[in-house]
Structure 1
Amino acid sequence: MTIVDRVPDSDYPYMFQAADSASLAGQNSYVETTRWRLILLSFAALLGLFSWQFSWGEVGPIDALALTGAAAFIATLMLELNTWRTRPDKSWYDGRAVAESAKTLTWKFAAGGNPFPIDMGVDDAQRALLARLQSVKNDFPELVLSPLNAPAISDWMIEQRQSTFDDRKKSYLAARINDQKNWYTDNAKLNKRRSKQWRFTLLSLEILGAVLSLASAFNQDVTQLSSAIAAFLTAIVAWNQTKQHDFNARAYSAAIHDLTSAEAKLRLVVTEESWAREVDDAEEAISREHVVWLATRSRL
């Protein structure tokens, strides 16, 4: 019996593991850099509303908060220049594209889906898979894969391919389709929740900004904070543009619908020929969500 409910990353081929690792590293670097840039800019905007002067020997007066604000801008500039130099966003997107394509090819090979139908010999199928994987990598020549010690084709992939039709069918439905549906479901809920939280934060700050601006208009003793609040709002909008919670929630919900339909068709299959075709269609449904995600990210 070679039925599996879940496939660990270590059972996927080198191409997936290396590209996935490179993508995660690029994502973490890009997101953290964006986070700190927005924090520093918001901090600088807030400091600009106040003054704290001091004298240093014969030099003075010096505004300490203005100096701190200048340091925040310089730090932001350094982060921006480093991002331009290293392009972690490109590693993130390109790595994810290669990793997802490699995962799709892995499952087509292991389950006996087109273009690796089960009547294709194991050796021929392995050669065809290696050629496809190399073709995927060739489409992203600038991507630097993470150095990992992993096989080009894992033992699990070959064992799964050589198992019976029923075992391959059960494994694919559980470890690929159901696992992917669970991932989409969890992340759709998470992104929907985060989207509501940030929308509430934006509305609250907008109301606060309006109230404080009106208060300062009629009372000169009230500190004018509207410019700082505007900076905070701009930072939140930019952060949401980076995370894209609304878009992700909708895209994952649509992907669940497509996978549910694909799952129903897969369960009805009784022949290898039909199975190879339906596995190919199911993988295309999974790939569709990622293609849309990649297209929107590339426009940022």
Structure 2
Amino acid sequence: MTMKLTDFPGLYQAADKSSLESQSAYKKIIGYDLTTMVVAAGLSIYNFQDTNPKLIIYIISGLFLLTGLILTILIRTKKYEDIWYQGRALAESAKTLTWRYITCSENFEANIPEETASKIFIERLKELNTEFKELAETLDARLLSQDIITSQMNKIRRLNFLERKQFYIENRIGDQQKWYADKAEFNKTRYQRWFLLIIICQAISLISVAYLIKFPASDWNFVGFFTTIAASAISWLQLKQHQELKQAYTTAAHELTFILASAGRVNNDDDLAVFVLDSENAISREHTLWRAQRRT
């Protein structure tokens, strides 16, 4: 038994989709924008002596720079970044609430009738929906029309204590811990690669300057091209924040390891409620840190 995407409330599915699509659009546009500047710089490597080829290069460079300007304005007007952040915040809040409901955690204890717990859950989702009402126009109406409380959610909630405990450990903590660990290593590798590219481009720029000092009459000038690549790589590295995310994910994975080590002391529904609350708080702290880092 597992929890698939479609087993979560429609609000979670819609917010998750909106966030992922906005994230993808934002990063693609930034990538295209930086690429136009690199290409424009690349076109100026050789200094043509004849007027015609020089004019053609100027026109093509101007078109690429104009494209970059349009993309920059598009980023500003479409607000993809804000939708990405807010959509993720809404999705994670709805997801945490769902796990608390199905494990009979705080406010949804096992001794509460299912009908009462369902009403509380629906009210909490309504509050979340109101809190993020500015996202309404970006959410998929088809997903929002899905069940608020799915059959799988109630099926898991009706399991006995030991089954709910095991399900939560395997499908929430274990899954989240693996995701954090994998993402930490992924971001570490990407950070190293991009940093290496920056160093190489800056070194080549320095060599190019030395070449021009020795051959000042040369028509070849690679300085602007490689410094633009280096600057673009730095901008992309700041956007992706690989180093910061690596640290945040590593910390979260480590914290969940300690929480998981205490699972043996969870012997009843009350213990499980506290256990779930501690786990969800740890996951929430990682997400709060992530949002703070994206805003800086």
User: When the two structures are superposed, what TM-score results if normalisation uses the length of structure 1?
Assistant: 0.92
Partner of 1:9: 5
Q: Is 1:50–1:65's contact at 8 Å kept on the other side of the alignment?
A: no
Q: Among 115, 119, 124, which residue is 1:123 paired with?
A: 115
SS of residue in 1 equivalent to 2:283 = helix
Q: Is 2:23–2:81's contact at 8 Å kept on the other side of the alignment?
A: yes
Q: Is 2:10–2:146's contact at 8 Å kept on the other side of the alignment?
A: yes
Q: Which deviates more, 25-34 or 137-146?
A: 137-146
Matched, 1:273 2:243: no
Partner of 1:292: 289
CA offset at residue 138 of structure 1?
2.1
Partner of 2:247: 250
Q: Which deviates more, 258-267 or 87-96?
A: 258-267
Q: Is 1:40–1:72's contact at 8 Å kept on the other side of the alignment?
A: yes
Partner of 1:110: 102
**Which residue identity lines up with residue 127 of structure 1 in the other structure?**
K
Q: Among 56, 70, 86, which residue is 1:64 paired with?
A: 56
Please give the alpha-carbon distance, in whole angstroms, between the structure 1 residues aligned to 2:46 and 2:203: 22
SS of residue in 1 equivalent to 2:293 = helix
Q: Deviations over 1:83-112 (max 9, x none)?
A: 222111111111111111111011000011
> What does residue range 191-206 of structure 1 map to in structure 2 within 5 Å?
191-206=187-202
CA offset at residue 54 of structure 1?
7.6
Q: Is 2:46–2:221's contact at 8 Å kept on the other side of the alignment?
A: no
CA offset at residue 71 of structure 1?
0.4
Question: CA 1:53–1:133 in structure 2 vs 1: closer, same or farther (change >3 Å)?
Answer: farther
**Which residue identity lines up with residue 99 of structure 1 in the other structure?**
A
Q: Among 4, 16, 19, which residue is 2:15 paired with?
A: 19
Question: CA 1:66–1:280 in structure 2 vs 1: closer, same or farther (change >3 Å)?
Answer: same
Matched, 1:137 2:137: no
SS of residue in 1 equivalent to 2:127 = helix
Q: Is 1:216–1:222's contact at 8 Å kept on the other side of the alignment?
A: no
Matched, 1:177 2:173: yes
Matched, 1:90 2:82: yes
Q: Is 2:100–2:276's contact at 8 Å kept on the other side of the alignment?
A: yes
CA offset at residue 252 of structure 1?
0.5
CA offset at residue 64 of structure 1?
0.6
> What does residue range 70-85 of structure 1 map to in structure 2 within 5 Å?
70-85=62-77
CA offset at residue 53 of structure 1?
8.0
How many residue pairs align between the two structures? 291
Question: CA 1:223–1:105 in structure 2 vs 1: closer, same or farther (change >3 Å)?
Answer: same
Question: CA 1:160–1:61 in structure 2 vs 1: closer, same or farther (change >3 Å)?
Answer: closer
Q: Which deviates more, 179-188 or 112-121?
A: 112-121
CA offset at residue 223 of structure 1?
2.2
Question: CA 1:115–1:265 in structure 2 vs 1: closer, same or farther (change >3 Å)?
Answer: farther
SS of residue in 2 equivalent to 1:142 = helix
Please give the alpha-carbon distance, in whole angstroms, between the structure 2 residues aligned to 1:90 and 1:173: 33
Partner of 1:228: 225
SS of residue in 1 equivalent to 2:134 = coil
Please give the alpha-carbon distance, in whole angstroms, between the structure 1 residues aligned to 2:187 and 2:236: 13
Matched, 1:239 2:236: yes
Q: What 5-or-longer segments of structure 2 have no aligned partner?
A: none
User: When the two structures are superposed, what TM-score results if normalisation uses the length of structure 2?
Assistant: 0.94
Please give the alpha-carbon distance, in whole angstroms, between the structure 2 residues aligned to 1:62 and 1:250: 48
CA offset at residue 51 of structure 1?
4.8
Partner of 1:217: 213
**Which residue identity lines up with residue 208 of structure 1 in the other structure?**
I
**Which residue identity lines up with residue 132 of structure 1 in the other structure?**
R
Q: Among 40, 46, 53, which residue is 2:42 paired with?
A: 46
CA offset at residue 199 of structure 1?
1.3
Q: Which deviates more, 161-170 or 115-124?
A: 115-124
Question: CA 1:295–1:118 in structure 2 vs 1: closer, same or farther (change >3 Å)?
Answer: same
Identity of paired residues, percent? Answer: 30
Partner of 2:158: 162
Q: What 5-or-longer segments of structure 1 have no aligned partner?
A: none
